[in-house]
Structure 1
Amino acid sequence: MSTVRRTIRSIPYRDSVATWRFITALLTQGKNATAAVELEAVAGVAASVIGDGSMRQAPIVVTCDGPRTRLYCTYDEDALDEAEASEDALGFDPLKGDWAVSLPCQAEDLEWVQRALAGSSKRITARDAAEGFEVADSAAAATSNALTLNLEGLLK
């Protein structure tokens, strides 16, 4: 599985709401109105997570039927330095097929953020920023469901 990284300039270059709107535009590429509505429905919660600096520790992770996208945010002086940023458009549809967005969140806020997101979206979730992010590898999943041959039984 390939992974693409982008680093988005946030506070003070953009406020947290403008950062989320930039991320929404980056992900939807102006083509996916349905996804844009879903991403906009969680704008307040996402802006809160961005505002608390959770992306200092961990990225927003976007999964789809294509490459995984990791979105990091820079803050303070780093956000003002354009050399730290990589905000170019993505060369693929990051919301292709069965997509999901995982927002990193501070542990003390995780419960309310998860509850708030669940009320607006099934595809956009939150995780503890200190934990990391795992998705079952499709090759490993395929192997675990593969047919196994019992040679000993066959030869009897």
Structure 2
Amino acid sequence: MSVIARRVASVPHRTSSQTWEAIVDLLAPSAGSARTALLEVTGPASVIIAEEYTNSAPIVVLPAEGPRIRIRTAHGGDAVDAAGDEMPLMSSPLDQPGWRLSLPCAEDDLDELRAALAGNSQISVRALDDVPDETKARAGSARIVINTDELELP
């Protein structure tokens, strides 16, 4: 399984909601159902970013096809350094239906944030030390795909 990793600058470079908007722009740059779904959870996602859970554990994206994507946020002095290093993805991973996104969260906030995301089948919240099981998200997908576009320099 291949993985693409990105780091997005947060506070003080951006507010937590602006950070989520930057992540949305990274994953779903064009108008469509994926972008709408991501923007609908701006509140809960902003809380998770503001608490810096995404600094210690990644947001995990499981596209319908292609590599897993892990996004972490940088905060404080690291955010200033990370701001110049942000790189776009070579493709739009959420263009095809069937994608999943998992947000990390501390145990104390799990119930509240799960309630806030209730009814959204594509976006979930998990404990900081949990990692989404890709085999469940991609049931029946047994082939390996190598995306060589991500290896090319911009």
Shorter-chain TM band: 0.7 to 0.9
Q: In the alignment, which residue of structure 2 is the partner of 1:105?
A: 105
* Distance (Å, rounded) in 2 between the aligned partners of 1:60 and 1:38: 15
Compared with structure 1, are the counterparts of its residues 20 and 125 closer, same or farther at alpha carbon in structure 2 (3 Å cutoff)? same
Classify the secondary structure of the residue corresponding to 2:7: strand
Q: Is the 2:57–2:129 contact (alpha carbons within 8 Å) kept by the matching residues of 1?
A: yes
Q: What is the TM-score normalised by the length of structure 2?
A: 0.81
Residue 135 of structure 1, CA deviation: 2.1
Residue 88 of structure 1, CA deviation: 1.3
Identity level (%): 35
Q: In the alignment, which residue of structure 1 is the partner of 2:47?
A: 48
Q: How many matched pairs?
A: 140
Q: Return structure 1 stretches of 4+ with deviation > 4 angstroms.
A: 137-143
Q: In the alignment, which residue of structure 1 is the partner of 2:5?
A: 5
Q: What is the TM-score normalised by the length of structure 1?
A: 0.80
Classify the secondary structure of the residue corresponding to 1:25: helix
Q: Give 1 or 2: higher helix fraction.
A: 1
> Does 1:39 pair with 2:66?
no
Superposition RMSD on alpha carbons, in Å? 2.3
* Distance (Å, rounded) in 1 between the aligned partners of 2:133 and 2:36: 26
* Distance (Å, rounded) in 1 between the aligned partners of 2:132 and 2:34: 22
Segment drifting more, 7-16 vs 93-102: 93-102
> Does 1:61 pair with 2:50?
no
* Distance (Å, rounded) in 2 between the aligned partners of 1:108 and 1:86: 32
Question: For 1:38-68, what per-residue CA distance to the aligned partner results, in whole angstroms no more than 9, with x for missing partners?
Answer: 1111100100010001012210000011111
Q: Which residue identity does 2:68 align to in structure 1?
A: R
Q: Is the 2:62–2:137 contact (alpha carbons within 8 Å) kept by the matching residues of 1?
A: no
Q: Which residue identity does 2:134 align to in structure 1?
A: V
Q: In the alignment, which residue of structure 2 is the partner of 1:151?
A: none
Q: In the alignment, which residue of structure 2 is the partner of 1:70?
A: 70
* Distance (Å, rounded) in 2 between the aligned partners of 1:27 and 1:109: 25
Q: Is the 1:61–1:102 contact (alpha carbons within 8 Å) kept by the matching residues of 2?
A: yes
> Does 1:126 pair with 2:143?
no
